Amino acid sequence: MRRKLIAANWKMCKTPDLAREFVAAFLPLVKDHPRDDIALCPSYVCLPAVVEALRDTQIGVGGQNMFWEKEGAYTGEISAAMLRAVGCSHVIIGHSERRQYFGETDDTVNRKLKVALAAGLQPIVCVGEVLEEREAGLTEQVLERQCNIAFSEISGVEAVPLIVAYEPVWAIGTGKTATPQMAADAHEVIRAQAAKAFGEETAQAMRILYGGSVKPENANALMSKMEIDGALVGGASLDPKSFSAIVHY
C-alpha cells in the first residue's frame, strides 16, 4: 500500500505573517489525523516561517521550484542545497505554470530532478496535458514524452524518493476537475513509464498525486481511487479549513 500525500501549493500567495497564521489555524484541525502525509509548499520567503511553525510535527515543507546549478551568478535562483538548508523536505519541479510562463521544458525538469534527488529532497514532478492535447487524443503521448525525458539517466535506486503529480493543465485553477477515472487512467500511463525507466519495484512504490481543482467536495471521490496516491492542491489549500477538509476527505 502506498501512503498518500496531501500537498499544498500556495504559489505566489501569502507573506510570512499570513503563512504563520495559516499554520496556527491548520495544526489543530489535523492533529490526531496521521492517516496520510501532508506537506506545505509556500513561496521561498515564507519557508523559514513555515519550517519553524511546523517544528515538532510530521508535516513536510517544500519549495515550489529550484535551479540545477550548485551556486554562482544566477540572479534570482535558488539551489537545492539552499532549500535543504532552510529545512525543506520536498520540492515541486516542472509545474505547468513554470512551463507556461517561465520557459521550463522536459529537459530542464530532468536536470532539476537529478539535482534534487542528489540533494536528498523528495521531488514532486508535475506532468499533464493542455486542453488541445486532450481534445486531440494526445494525452497518453504527452505524458509518455514528459515522463520519458524527466526520468532519463536516473536509476531505480535514485528514483525511490520521487513523487509525480498528474496535473491536467485544463483543470488547474479552472474549477474543472478530471474525473477520478480520467486521473486513474493517466496515472497508469505514468506508472508504466516509471516501470520502464526505474524497474517495476520502484514504479509500484512511487506515489502519483492528482492536481487540478481539488476541493473538499471532490477529494473523497478522487482519493478513493487505488491509483491516486494523494493530491497537489492549489487554490483550496490557501484556507486552513478547506485544506484540512481535503486532508480529512
**Count of C-beta atoms within a 10 Å radius of residue 3:** 10
Least Å distance, CB 199 to ligand PGA, is 28
Q: Which residues bind ligand PGA (CB under 6 A)?
A: 9, 167, 172-173, 211-214, 232-236
CB-closest chain residue to ligand PGA: 234
Q: Which of 50, 2, 8 is nearest to 214 (CA)?
A: 8
Measured from the CB atom, is 133 or 167 closer to ligand PGA? Answer: 167
Query: 26 vs 198, which CB is nearer to ligand PGA?
Result: 26
Query: Cα–Cα–Cα angle for 139, 142, 145, nearest 5°?
Result: 150
Q: How far apart are CA 225 and CA 221, in angstroms?
A: 7
Comparing CB distances to ligand PGA, the nearer of 159 and 172 is: 172
* Residue from 104, 133, 167, 227 carrying the catalytic annotation: 167
Among residues 42, 38, 20, 21, the alpha carbon closest in space to that of 30 is found at: 38
Instruction: Quote the Cα angle for 144-150-154, to 5°.
Output: 115
CB of 238 to ligand PGA, least distance (A): 9
When the beta carbons of 59 and 197 are compared against ligand PGA, the nearer one is 59
Smallest gap from residue 194 Cβ to ligand PGA (A):
20
Other C-beta atoms within 10 Å of 116: how many?
A: 27
H-run or E-run covering 193: helix 180-198
Grid cell listed for 26:
491548520
Q: Which of 95, 97, 187, 227 is catalytic?
A: 95
Q: Is residue 137 packed enough to be buried (19+ CB in 10 Å), middle (13-18) or exposed (0-12)? A: exposed
Q: Is 201 a catalytic residue?
A: no
Shortest Cβ 126–ligand PGA spacing (Å): 7
Smallest CA-to-CA distance from 144 within 185, 192, 99, 109 is with: 192
Nearer Cβ to ligand PGA, position 50 or 197? 50
Contact between 7 and 233 under an 8 Å Cβ cutoff? The reply is: yes
- Is residue 248 part of the annotated active site? The answer reads no
Query: Shortest Cβ distance from residue 207 to ligand PGA (Å)?
Result: 15
Just list the catalytic residues. Answer: 95, 167
